[in-house]
Chain A
């Protein structure tokens, strides 16, 4: 390693890559030739051992019948064939997909409206901005448990519903209501985060655009669609990408609200919950859980590409 680094030192500032800089006189290097690698080493080692090695190992394990305590052997596509006939896998895939479809539109649109609401500098607005961010700061476990209590059969929401005469709703006992409630919690927690992202984008919208539209007699709604949305479109795509990837990987909200077994008859299990349930513990089926993990990985990559492609198409 040392010798190759020294070679690089001699080769030194590849000026071709920085054409804007004026040519500099050559000088002697005074630091030890290995120091760049020493600087990068801790990060590279951690990333290699705990991210890249597990990634490769997930890909390999997916084709074995490895268990937590048994090394396992190569089984070809058996795990993936089993997936096709595993009802729980399809339930997980369904729920994670529904989660994306339910959460993403809300998280692209609602924080934008919220950002517009807190954008104007009226007295006390910084307080409101900070307050709206509080749910982001709280741990997902805290948020989950707060909502479990709020949506409880005898909790606050049901008390209010009963007071106004609607009657009590079993938010946490019905399979679909449970999933919907978990989505609502995800949206609730994401509002403040994406609001801040949108605020930064809105600050860059030229005010001339709004003024021109106003002179042309465009109302607030019209200006929202003709000025604001086009101006922050790339941010909307970014929010869409971020929120869809994290929505597909949902675990904590559903785990806390539906319980470790995923609600009534496991019908609220998500894909990552299934990974956690199948692959951990002393009897964990590492091979099979890895196969599900591969599906999670592939879908998140596809989701990201889809969103980015939609962006490019619209731009064209």
Chain B
């Protein structure tokens, strides 16, 4: 205990002095324990990333290569992009990708704008009915989408928007959860700065745009990323609302590809890689917002 007491002021005293590996307490970890950790890490790595690599490998295997061999062959002997070409010949995969991109982009814009505005109103502006408005969003957040999906479908029909991409976007275009996330972000800002602007005669719109919004960019980024992922990955709702194959998004297109060409594993594999690659790239670039989003989302959800 006393040793720990002494070492506390420095973050990793042992690690700093000694190249050997230390834990977060600054205590050295025994070599066999480190080895065991790496062994476990590699095992989990194989389990979590392996399936993606296997899919990639399958998608690169040519028509004459045995993909069913036992023991399995992990690397394609003569890698080819032929299967990607075939996906494009079989289904309009680039159109589907473009549809997904449009839906996801629209979802990002509407969620960022709509939830920032509403969040600001809930957090900062004083008006009668603010509590009721907050309650509306909280209640909406608690309603599971799956339990109202049929009524959403009939609502969309009543509006004449079923089988359109707008219909795909609308129900989640300003999600209650994002509104509440933004509300919390605005509530956490110190009020005094806005007070000062208020004294200087800035109106609500100016205070929102010039002062409050730039201070919550981090949360806004989280909202944007999750809106993008949510729309790009969504399956059940587009499946229900879209019936015309020319309007499919990528996920529905993949499901269609799988349903029609289930026996052509190389083809389906290439399709899934097309769908997942952009998101993995996005994740690789913006990791810290992804992780931050999990923390914030979990607190609310």
Residues on the B chain within 8 Å of A280, using CB: 150, 153, 240
> Are the CB atoms of B1 and A42 closer together than 8 Å?
no
- Shortest CB distance A69–B (Å): 9
Residues on the B chain within 8 Å of A210, using CB: 25
B98 at interface (Cβ–Cβ under 8 A)? Answer: no
22 chain-A/chain-B pairs, Cβ below 8 angstroms: A5-B128, A30-B203, A36-B121, A37-B127, A42-B113, A43-B118, A46-B114, A51-B140, A51-B143, A52-B139, A118-B41, A133-B283, A134-B49, A134-B283, A137-B276, A145-B268, A149-B265, A159-B71, A159-B72, A160-B70, A200-B295, A275-B149
Number of residues from A at the complex interface, CB < 8 A: 110
A84 at interface (Cβ–Cβ under 8 A)? Answer: no
A173 at interface (Cβ–Cβ under 8 A)? Answer: no
- Shortest CB distance A159–B (Å): 4
In the complex, the chain B residue whose C-beta lies closest to that of A161 is B70
A225 at interface (Cβ–Cβ under 8 A)? Answer: no
Chain B residues within CB distance 8 Å of chain A: 1, 4, 12, 21, 23-25, 29, 34, 37-38, 40-41, 44-45, 47-49, 51-52, 54-55, 58, 68-72, 110, 113-115, 117-118, 120-122, 125-130, 133, 136-137, 139-140, 142-144, 146-155, 157, 170-171, 173-174, 176, 179, 191, 195, 198-199, 201-205, 208, 229, 232-233, 235-236, 239-240, 250-251, 254-255, 258-259, 265, 268-269, 271-272, 275-276, 279-280, 282-284, 287, 290-291, 294-295, 298, 301
> Are the CB atoms of B294 and A197 closer together than 8 Å?
yes
In the complex, the chain A residue whose C-beta lies closest to that of B100 is A139
> Are the CB atoms of A139 and B235 closer together than 8 Å?
yes
Partner of B170, one of A13, A46, A290: A46
Residues on the A chain within 8 Å of B41, using CB: 117-118, 125, 128
In the complex, the chain A residue whose C-beta lies closest to that of B236 is A251
In the complex, the chain A residue whose C-beta lies closest to that of B115 is A43
Quick one: CB contact mask for A181-193 with B, threshold 8 Å, 1 for yes? 0000000100111
Question: Which of A87-95, A98-106, A294-302, A308-316 lines the interface with chain B?
Answer: A294-302
Residues on the B chain within 8 Å of A256, using CB: 255, 258
Task: Decide yes or no: A58 and B151 within 8 Å by CB, A36-B126, A47-B136, A68-B157 being known contacts.
Answer: yes
Task: Decide yes or no: A139 and B232 within 8 Å by CB, A49-B155, A52-B139, A133-B283 being known contacts.
Answer: yes
A281 to B54, CA, bound (A): 36
Number of A-B contacts (CB under 8 A): 310
> Are the CB atoms of A35 and B136 closer together than 8 Å?
no
What 3 pairs between A and B have smallest CB-CB spacing? A43-B118, A54-B151, A39-B121
- Shortest CB distance B116–A (Å): 9
Residues on the B chain within 8 Å of A293, using CB: 146-151
Task: Decide yes or no: A117 and B147 within 8 Å by CB, A30-B201, A50-B152, A159-B68 being known contacts.
Answer: no
A82 at interface (Cβ–Cβ under 8 A)? Answer: no
Task: Decide yes or no: A142 and B118 within 8 Å by CB, A52-B140, A293-B149 being known contacts.
Answer: no
- Shortest CB distance A161–B (Å): 9
> Are the CB atoms of B236 and A142 closer together than 8 Å?
no
> Are the CB atoms of B117 and A12 closer together than 8 Å?
no
> Are the CB atoms of A296 and B147 closer together than 8 Å?
yes
Chain A residues 75-125 with CB under 8 Å of chain B are: 114, 117-123, 125
> Are the CB atoms of B130 and A154 closer together than 8 Å?
no
In the complex, the chain B residue whose C-beta lies closest to that of A122 is B21
> Are the CB atoms of A294 and B280 closer together than 8 Å?
no
Residues on the A chain within 8 Å of B44, using CB: 114, 117, 128, 132
Residues on the B chain within 8 Å of A301, using CB: 142
- Shortest CB distance B154–A (Å): 6
A12 to B14, CA, bound (A): 57
Chain A residues 136-183 with CB under 8 Å of chain B are: 137-142, 145-150, 152, 154-156, 158-160, 162-163
> Are the CB atoms of B205 and A31 closer together than 8 Å?
yes
A197 to B292, CA, bound (A): 10
- Shortest CB distance B178–A (Å): 9
- Shortest CB distance A256–B (Å): 7
Residues on the A chain within 8 Å of B176, using CB: 43, 47, 51
In the complex, the chain B residue whose C-beta lies closest to that of A296 is B147
> Are the CB atoms of A36 and B275 closer together than 8 Å?
no
- Shortest CB distance B75–A (Å): 13
> Are the CB atoms of B127 and A192 closer together than 8 Å?
no
A272 to B12, CA, bound (A): 51
A226 to B290, CA, bound (A): 32
In the complex, the chain A residue whose C-beta lies closest to that of B204 is A31
